[in-house]
Structure 1
Amino acid sequence: MFSRFFRREPHGPGPVPPVLDTDTALDDHALRHARDRAQAGDWIAARDVVTVAGADWELRSRRIVVLCEAAAQNDAWLYDWLRSAPEDPAAVTIYAATLATRAGDARGDAPASRTSPEQFRAFKELSDAAAVASRRAITLAGPHDPTPFIELLGAAFADGRVDTPEFRELLAEAKRRDPYHFDLHLTVVSLLCQKWFGSHEQMFTAAREVAAAAPPGANVVMMPFLAHFEFAMREYGWDQRTPESLAACSRHFQRPEVQAELDSWAAKWRAGVPRPGRAMTCRHWLALAYFLSGRRAETKAVLDEIGPYVGSTLAWAYFLPSTEEGFLTAWRWANT
């Protein structure tokens, strides 16, 4: 069955797949509009879209991430903002996040064995600069904003220092400010996975603990899905995307105990009102897990909720050649 997923065949009779929307802002149309205006020179639009997020720190963080991705390609508007308001914590945080984005781009997404010393050097230098900017953003941030703390925690991807007093203090303060912030725990679970600086056990513990403690509807309740994706990819599909690796990963998700666990987290997430900042990411995780589990009706139902909003959801590319190909593979399977 899985071999046909890797063949490029013309679309035959049947439902026509959606035209995919790969904008990283996903269904946040206010953010799209503000980002486009900023790129045209109106930095005030970027400031305002961050400001109106208010105390929804997860939404604020998500908007900052999308704006920094834009600034990584064209930063003229960001420097105009910084010149006009050099102590605006949002501007300084976006600057720090932009440097971190450029660090990731410099390293690339290949495994360490296929990453050159020059790439690692650029990654480290830009990550260090991002950490300096994040520390400045922390000094400017309000007493409840966790965003620059999360940015600084992300600097550990460059140096691996996840078991130091500074890291623990930053993590504790970020949790105090917003204990169930999706991007905070995304950073922590990712750092603790085996492909970075932890182990499967550490990763699953971190994911399950926060999911259990969070209230119904919190997007962080879905963090164990990420842990299972990381586990399956590392154990059965490391450095390959083949029909055989897809089949092996799918066998993990088809285990009754895995399905039972993920169903319980999905039910808790559905039991509340998800915060908008990362709800679409969670829908993608749910659809992917259903697809890997071979649950066609459930996959289709969630894909219908998602619509065309694919963005750059990375998890699809853990198991299939790319995000877009992975999503369309699941869509065609679910709609046959």
Structure 2
Amino acid sequence: MRAGDLVELVRAPAALTVLGDTLAGMAAAPPATRRARHGLLPVASACLYLGGMALNDYGDRDLDALERPERPIPSGRVTPGQALAVGTGLVATGVVAAGVASGRRGLGVALPLAACVLTYDLAAKDRPAGAVVMAACRGLDVLLGATPTSWRAAAPTAAVFVTHTLAVTALSRGEVHGTTSTVARCAVAGTTAAATATAAAALRPATARPAASRSGAVTRTLGALAATAGYVATCLPPQLHAAEDRSAGAARAATRAGIQAMVPLQAAWTLRGGRAASTAVLAGALVAGRLLRRRGRKQVSIT
């Protein structure tokens, strides 16, 4: 297995969109609670995501042989055994990293998250509950970032990410055979709800933050609102187009846009929490993702 085949198997560029889940969760916590080891939480998140992508292709290997023969396993560039080993190894690494980062609290979220990843990839994906399981993965990923302190403070953030993920996952079901106007319109409604909740949160002070100057609060609010606008601009137009077009190509474009829109959504919540450093990391991830896509990497899919 060549390095390029491994990168394609785990959808490495897409992993840049998951780092901000834990950063958004951390943003809900008081700054004084941060420790150096908590920096392992985004690493844990990325490992769980990358492992899930490898297991996704392992579980879909027979279907991909018919519908997507260019993928690493059906093309023969990666064996099923290699994909299984990579996937399980990365998921296990993610769970261990979460435990090192925040002890029992981290394991208390990482283990259910790993179970959801395995359930989605190997059992639930093609079932009605599949979108719910995928959304639970994203919500738990946000809560993973809050494990050093309290999950309760990050619950509104997690709810927004669950809503967005439900919309994207529903649309992704139409990447091969096309979607329906009903599904696309529900995705539009989900995006609208997520954006509305994020904007409303941006207009309220984050209780985890200490008292700050009026100018600093205004800057954080405006930054969070601008990031929310970026989220809507990235995600909503392709979804509206998919509601009219309903073709597989339109569904793929809307799914890609939904994945990419995770980064400005994450930035909105980190800005709302006053985490400038986390926002800078997300900005770097956004630039890196665009550069990787320009280098001709294959289209990202969550199915």
Same fold per superposition (TM over 0.5) = no
Which TM-score applies when normalising by structure 1?
Answer: 0.36
Structure with more helix by fraction = 2
Larger Rg: 1 or 2? 1
